[in-house]
Chain A
Amino acid sequence: MEEFFQQLTNGLAVGGIYALIALGYTMVYGVLKLINFAHGDLFTLGAYLGLTLLTSLGLSGHLGAVLGLVVLALMVTGFVGIAGALLERAAYRPLRDSHRLSAVVSALGASIFLQNTIMLIYGAKNYVYPLEILPRTAIHIFGLPVPLVRILILSASLLLMAGLYLFIQKTRLGTAIRASAIDQGAAKLMGINVNQVIMIVFLIGPGLGGVAGLMVGLYYGQVNFTMGWVYGLKAFTAAILGGIGNIPGAMVGGLLLGVIEALGAAYISIAWKDAIAFCVLIVILIVRPTGILGERVADKI
């Protein structure tokens, strides 16, 4: 029971991270119908930027651990968001009206470019996060100990998701994003500046991905420049699991995938951990191609 509980909370924390990355995929896919392959590397960029800011500014020393991390997370969101918006402007906007696969290859190129930029700046070695900034204590829930960092990550990701959900559902800008996702042409006719909407999507999505990178650094204590691929693929799986283009779907999918993966790794086989996500993906696409909360994706054969 204790083992199960530990795996469950671990899965929820990792799932929260997946969900944050998945939101970036699903929002971009919603408005552009493009798999942003560079998203995983923007996430890595967030992890590295977080590390640099953490060690160079000493924020947590001045402001205390939690407030320092909040300021840090805001800075990372801002920087990675700007990087995402620049990427959209440079690599995706010129291809908006061309064939879908051209944009896919441009996205792959952007991914290679970003990954190698990080490698050229930081070098190819693994980096260790200074873990001492967060107290390594455990909080007891129902008499079972849960590490503080797990609770912080899960609550931070839930908070961000709730904020995003409210933003998308309740504000004018959020309505504009939803309208552009449904029908760009009609949105333009209604006076929505679609280019601006897409830029905002590319600010928010990669911004959230960057925070997720920071969280992975704090959770596992180690980052390397290639980790974006695996997280990116799994987060994309999570987005499909929930139904791509669907924002609550990405949240549910991310959390679900995190839990399935943690439990699978614990009770089935740790060696097959990375395959579990993809098996879930294939089963979901065969059985229910729309995802849990999604739209129609399959053409009949």
Chain B
Amino acid sequence: MINEKNKLCAFAAFSLILATAPLYLNSYWVDVLNSVGLYAILALSLNIILGDAGLYNMGHAAFFAVGAYTAAYLNTQFGLPILWALPVSGIVAGLAGLLVARPVVHLRGDYLLIVTVGVGEILRIALINDVFGLTGGPNGIFGIDRPVLFGFKIRKPQEFFYLIWGFVAVTIFLFYRLKNSRFGRALDYLREDMTAAEGSGIDTGRYQLYAFMVGAAWAGMAGTLYASKMSIISPESFSFWESVVIFIIVILGGSGNIAGVLLGTFLIIGLPELFRGFANARMWFFGLAMMIMMIFRTEGILPHRPRVFKSLDRQRP
């Protein structure tokens, strides 16, 4: 068992290496780390829904898309600075999450999974078909402004690195606090035993909805960051495949465990970049590795461990 102090040291060392990464990596690799960061935000947000609340959501890219399109629309039509759009797109994506989840949150696992897949596909087709003339059709929206932070315009990958990973750090902090709050404990309880949780007075339906909203809102904010980084967004960036990748990260990394999800993101988004040379066979290995991983580490690389509380009775071992 790793004790808390070692864990903290490892975390600090990791943060330090990561924070100085732009100093010794070239732009290409910094950009790879940027996408790792974006996926980390997405995976952490899905982790609230899938890992903590136990709701099978395989359409997470939909909320990512809602956030990205909201920010892009507000920015290009009304000139709202992109970072101001961050909370707005979070709220819009959260409401979209509520809208999607409310009628179906009570469905049994696999049905919820397939409904969320369906919602993701419907949204993608809606984006392609330019509903209400908002989304720019298959070409998407372009000319999105770069973010400006305290008068400093963020352009280069190295600068985006600190914006994105800063957001990741805030996310980790908040989600860690959330996990150890009343809300997080309630989610743990209802995931493990719905009936017992309900019996103890937890409004399970409401907590599941909250979890879905928080996850969706956070994905929406990731969408804003993505839109400002790419400065052009189009429907193909939010395909079913994206939802699948986020889903795989959470399960493979260790659902319910923040460190596991981060590790999963590095493995699934970062590692394939190392094998670019194999171009075609890369995905073949990826599929094979997924099967083998699941067979040998069924609960993910760093599985979620039940909380241990210090016994009040010190005498007991």
- Which residues of A line the B interface, CB within 8 A? 29, 33, 35, 90-91, 94-95, 98-106, 108-117, 119-120, 229, 233, 236-237, 240, 269, 271-272, 274-275, 277-279, 281-282, 285-286, 289, 297-301
Contact = CB atoms under 8 A, between A and B. Distances in A.
> Size band of the B side of the interface?
35 or more
B248 interface: yes
B291 A110 contact: yes
Given A104-B251, A108-B244, A278-B121, A35 B114 contact: yes
Interface class of chain B by DSSP: helix
Contact of A105 (B126, B194, B248, B281): B248
Interface stretch (B65-73, B74-82, B103-111, B166-174): B103-111
Given A102-B294, A301-B105, A301-B106, A237 B118 contact: yes
Interface stretch (B22-30, B178-186, B223-231, B282-290): B282-290
Contacts of B204: 301
Contacts, number: 141
Given A108-B290, A109-B290, A299-B194, A275 B107 contact: no
Interface in B225-261: 240, 244, 247-248, 251-252, 255
Nearest to A286: B103
A111 B287 contact: yes
Interface string B44-75: 00000010000010000000000000000000
B117 A233 contact: yes
Contacts of B111: 240, 285, 289, 297-298
Contacts of B255: 101
B299 interface: yes
Nearest to B104: A285
A237 B119 CA distance: 12
Given A101-B56, A108-B244, A297-B108, 8 more contacts: A101-B251, A102-B298, A108-B248, A110-B291, A233-B118, A240-B111, A286-B103, A298-B107
What 5 A-B pairs come out closest when comparing CB atoms? Answer: A109-B290, A113-B287, A112-B287, A278-B118, A301-B106
Given A108-B248, A275-B125, A90 B291 contact: yes
B115 A105 contact: no
B148 interface: no
A190 B122 CA distance: 46
Contacts of A100: 109-110
B113 interface: yes
Given A35-B110, A102-B299, A271-B129, A282 B291 contact: no
Contacts of A103: 294
Interface in B83-108: 103-108
